[in-house]
Structure 1
Amino acid sequence: MMEIRGNKLLMLIGTAWLFDALDVALLSFIMPVIKQSWHLTAGELGAVSAVTSLGMMVGALICGYLADKWGRKPVLIGTLLLFSIGNLLLTVTPSVGWFIAVRFLTGIGLGGELPVAATIIADHFTGTKRARMLVLVDSFWAFGWIVASVLSFLVMPHFGWRVTVLITALMGLYALLVRRHLPDKTPTEPTNQRPFGAALRQVWSPQYRRATACLSVLWFVIMFAYYGMFLWLPSVLVLRGFSIVHGFGYTVLMSLAQLPGYYLAAWLIGKVQRKLVLAVYLAGTMLSAAAFGLATNATMILISGAWLSFFTLGAWGIMIAFTPGQFAVDARGMGMGFAQSIGRIGATIGPFLVGALMGLGVSITGIFMVFVAALVIGILVLLFGLRDQDRN
């Protein structure tokens, strides 16, 4: 059996995070364009935003299970194929109804890709090496945002959103060819033939119940905060007169600020208990969110926004490193997929809640305090609910 180690595996699997980030970022740039061209209502635009998260929730749960049953490689390739086909279809959607339907299909591929990709890394490495590799592979999220920023500011204004999406579909098809070099089996890959219900009961068995519950809450909190803050509030700040937040430089700065957050986390893991590192990053996210919500000028927005990007995505990376080790290899795909599928519920609620609170006249500061409160809950669940363990 061919085995892939180190940087080569990192590059092959890192494309999963790159395409997820690319898709999320592009959608945030496409939404204002289709709102204007198709004359969408606020409800229709909200459905466009939420349907991808709904598809990702389904994809994470189903593909995590299938990765344990059919093997990691075929399921990972299948998720990217869904992403590519979805984006090809998106380029010819004639209406918002078809757009929403295709986005659901694309979301299944995107949501299924990350837990399966993380499981492959977890299967290849153990201990501190596993944790560091998972944080580093998650850092490809920043590169996905940078690629999306370049496409949105250099391609979309001249050729439209359909051509921009076509480029991402072609990139996905190229990545499919590259992924042929993945090993057919990972070193510890299970041959788990349990039906879906039995696999779900396993991750809720006494052996895993506590970890599954706590990880699900943490993923919900992190995705709720990330998607709520990063997808909507820059637009809110524009309405308050801070046009800098929609500039190319701001978007790239927010993306670049993620990288030192990831790399510091990767360095700290192994030197400091992972649970403590995650708690510090969540606390940093909480404080940065409060500062960002209180920002009153462009300088404060840039500084607090950079720190928010640093800590939020770093915490996400540590969670990617923390989650697979809580499950043995025969339950790893399902455990990772289930926890992230609950997180996708948070990713759906977060943006909708921001819009609802804005409609009720709640201030930006008040909205950010909601995220601060959620992060406090997450920190308490981490400190008192989870054990820092690493199952092979």
Structure 2
Amino acid sequence: MTNTSIGEALDEAPLSLFHLRAMIISGLGFFTDAYDLFIIGAALVLIKNEWHLSGTMVGVVGSTTLLANFLGALIFGRLADILGRKKLYGLVATIMSIGAILTAFSPNIYWLIAFRFFLGLGIGGDYPISAVIMSEYANVRDRGKLVGMVFSMQALGLIAGPMVAITLLASGISHDLAWRIMLGLGAIPALSVIYARRKMPESPRFQAQVMGNTEKAASQLRTYTSGQVDVVEGDVAPKTPLMNFGQFITNPKMLLTLLGTAGTWFLFDYAYYGNSISTPLIMKTVAPHASLIQSEAWTLIVFAIAAVPGYALSVLKIDRIGHKRLQLIGFAVMGLAFLCMGVIPGVTSMVLPFLVLYGISYFFAEFGPNTTTFILSAELYPVSVRTTAHGISAGIAKIGAFIGVFLFPVITKALGLQGTFIITFAFALAGTLLTLVLPEPANRSMEKMSESAKSSKVVPQTVR
């Protein structure tokens, strides 16, 4: 196919193998992110007993990586808009690999916290780069689906954790060795994508519009897509003015959008991570006499039966339903499920009713804000500040996750599980309301949305 600009060519390109290749490269890194973030919940059940940790220290260990995610997302998100996506893409995967290996060899709780922090820097950096690279390769019609497929790799990471935990616990090996293997295995998927990321070309939209290397971008795009996307460029300069960081943070429309993407993601991650990472501990509270294997099995059942279908359905339907609309639906139903768990008497001591409601909350988390917050932050901003804005949104979200994970055992001890779920409902309700400030990007060109978002004061620039 022949088009007059790289953006138009990518917007109109039919789904092809090059989309799948970009999705797998981005998605494997995100599988690693999910596994590393959530496996600590299973490992902490063992570590808590071995090292005799207090509830506060359990919260610190579980949330340290999330605090590092905040810094990693901000730092690497900004650098990716300055240096380019490709230069940092292999680096964040390397950090994740090294961090996972180091955690497995932690001699004490303090080294474990330090290594989990280092790991978290890489995970945080992977969020904006993976999301934005996929959005910049995607076409208009399937952008939500493609970026959602990257994020849906989290589903595999979610179920891989309990499966690994159950296998290790059933094998009869010592608990000390079991949790170390759980954490160390996170290095394998990250190692598998380092080479592929280094060979992947720079994002064509970024290379053409920000770096001004239109001819090189067009040539690399033709090679990467095996000629499926062809471009005829008459002018190597960007056709529209670019937005720098100063203009971004002083643009009222951009700040309102940032409030919407960062705010809703913050509210969601407080609710989601506080529960997800603490799921093994929640199961022990609901069924205190259950064995570790039983608790992990219930965790796996919830993830497999509720979370995975939620991810799958969101990928299939998001572009038809609308990205913003799906977030509204997910927040609302997820919040109602948490409200039911909080107000129905005795539900947190009845395994089956609890698992049904907990599963509903998980399904609509995935078929809703867990997927859409990731996607919206990757498509609502101009290319020159896209990873910066996504990094800010993801970073602030991880502060919400940090607070949720850190406070979960504290609030549960003070108010019980039902009190904790009522607070979670309030966060979901706030997320529903804040979503209303965002525009609907489904089936709209990112370039056209960017043009409408810029103020008249933005001036042209080429390489920054």
TM-score, structure 1 as length reference: 0.90
Partner of 2:13: none
Distance 1:236 1:125, change over 3 A: closer
Distance 2:404 2:386 in 1: 27
Partner of 2:297: 249
Partner of 1:353: 407
Query: Does the CA contact (< 8 Å) of 1:58 and 1:111 recur in 2?
Result: yes
In the alignment, is residue 97 of structure 1 matched against residue 91 of structure 2?
no
Query: Does the CA contact (< 8 Å) of 1:204 and 1:212 recur in 2?
Result: no
Distance 1:58 1:174, change over 3 A: same
Tell me by how many angstroms 1:307 deviates.
Answer: 1.4
Tell me by how many angstroms 1:365 deviates.
Answer: 1.8
TM-superposition CA deviations, 1:21-40 (whole Å, max 9, x none): 11122111111222222222
Code of the aligned partner of 2:97:
S
Distance 1:262 1:237 in 2: 23
Question: Which of 152, 155, 164 pairs up with 1:142?
Answer: 155
TM-score, structure 2 as length reference: 0.77
Code of the aligned partner of 2:392:
F
Give the aligned CA root-mean-square deviation in angstroms.
2.4
Query: Does the CA contact (< 8 Å) of 1:4 and 1:182 recur in 2?
Result: no
Tell me by how many angstroms 1:200 deviates.
Answer: 6.5
Query: Does the CA contact (< 8 Å) of 2:55 and 2:409 recur in 1?
Result: no
Tell me by how many angstroms 1:233 deviates.
Answer: 5.3
Identity of aligned residues (%): 24
TM-superposition CA deviations, 1:284-335 (whole Å, max 9, x none): 1112222344434222122212211111123211222222221011110000
Code of the aligned partner of 2:104:
T
Code of the aligned partner of 1:276:
R
Aligned 1:23-42 pairs, distance under 5 A = 23-42=36-55
Q: Which has the larger radius of gyration?
A: 2
Partner of 1:283: 332
Tell me by how many angstroms 1:201 deviates.
Answer: 5.9
Question: Which of 385, 388, 392 pairs up with 2:440?
Answer: 388
Question: Which of 202, 205, 230 pairs up with 1:184?
Answer: 202
Between 128-137 and 60-69, report the one with greater CA deviation: 128-137
In the alignment, is residue 270 of structure 1 matched against residue 316 of structure 2?
no
Aligned residue pairs: how many?
385
Distance 2:106 2:211 in 1: 39
DSSP-derived class of the 1:155 partner: helix
TM-superposition CA deviations, 1:18-60 (whole Å, max 9, x none): 1111112211111122222222233322221121111000001
Distance 1:280 1:97, change over 3 A: same
DSSP-derived class of the 2:319 partner: coil
Code of the aligned partner of 1:283:
A
Where does the alignment leave 5 or more consecutive residues of structure 1 unmatched? none
Partner of 2:351: 298
Question: Which of 152, 172, 188 pairs up with 1:170?
Answer: 188
TM-superposition CA deviations, 1:51-76 (whole Å, max 9, x none): 11110000011111111111112212
Partner of 2:236: none
Tell me by how many angstroms 1:80 deviates.
Answer: 1.0
Query: Does the CA contact (< 8 Å) of 1:288 and 1:307 recur in 2?
Result: yes
Code of the aligned partner of 1:29:
A
DSSP-derived class of the 1:127 partner: coil
Between 70-79 and 290-299, report the one with greater CA deviation: 290-299
Distance 1:184 1:60 in 2: 19
Distance 1:234 1:301, change over 3 A: farther
TM-superposition CA deviations, 1:58-100 (whole Å, max 9, x none): 0011111111111112212111110111122222221111111
Query: Does the CA contact (< 8 Å) of 2:84 and 2:206 recur in 1?
Result: no
Between 108-117 and 290-299, report the one with greater CA deviation: 290-299
In the alignment, is residue 218 of structure 1 matched against residue 264 of structure 2?
yes
Distance 1:16 1:203 in 2: 29
Distance 1:229 1:342 in 2: 18
Query: Does the CA contact (< 8 Å) of 1:324 and 1:332 recur in 2?
Result: yes
Distance 2:139 2:382 in 1: 12
Code of the aligned partner of 1:376:
L
Partner of 1:67: 80
Query: Does the CA contact (< 8 Å) of 2:30 and 2:153 recur in 1?
Result: yes
Distance 1:358 1:269, change over 3 A: closer
TM-superposition CA deviations, 1:342-373 (whole Å, max 9, x none): 1111001112232222332x132221111111
In the alignment, is residue 116 of structure 1 matched against residue 129 of structure 2?
yes
Tell me by how many angstroms 1:106 deviates.
Answer: 0.3
Where does the alignment leave 5 or more consecutive residues of structure 2 unmatched? 1-5, 7-15, 213-243, 448-464
Distance 1:180 1:4 in 2: 19
Distance 2:324 2:167 in 1: 41
TM-superposition CA deviations, 1:210-251 (whole Å, max 9, x none): 101121110101100001122235524423436389534322
Partner of 1:336: 390
Code of the aligned partner of 2:353:
M
Tell me by how many angstroms 1:109 deviates.
Answer: 0.4
Distance 1:312 1:351 in 2: 17
Tell me by how many angstroms 1:117 deviates.
Answer: 0.1
Code of the aligned partner of 1:20:
D
Query: Does the CA contact (< 8 Å) of 2:63 and 2:402 recur in 1?
Result: yes
Between 18-27 and 149-158, report the one with greater CA deviation: 149-158
In the alignment, is residue 321 of structure 1 matched against residue 375 of structure 2?
yes
TM-superposition CA deviations, 1:158-177 (whole Å, max 9, x none): 24222333332233222323
Partner of 1:260: 309
Code of the aligned partner of 1:297:
M
DSSP-derived class of the 2:42 partner: helix
Code of the aligned partner of 2:335:
M
Distance 1:233 1:320 in 2: 22
Distance 1:288 1:209, change over 3 A: same
Between 150-159 and 241-250, report the one with greater CA deviation: 241-250
- Counting helix residues as a fraction of each chain, which structure ranks higher? 1
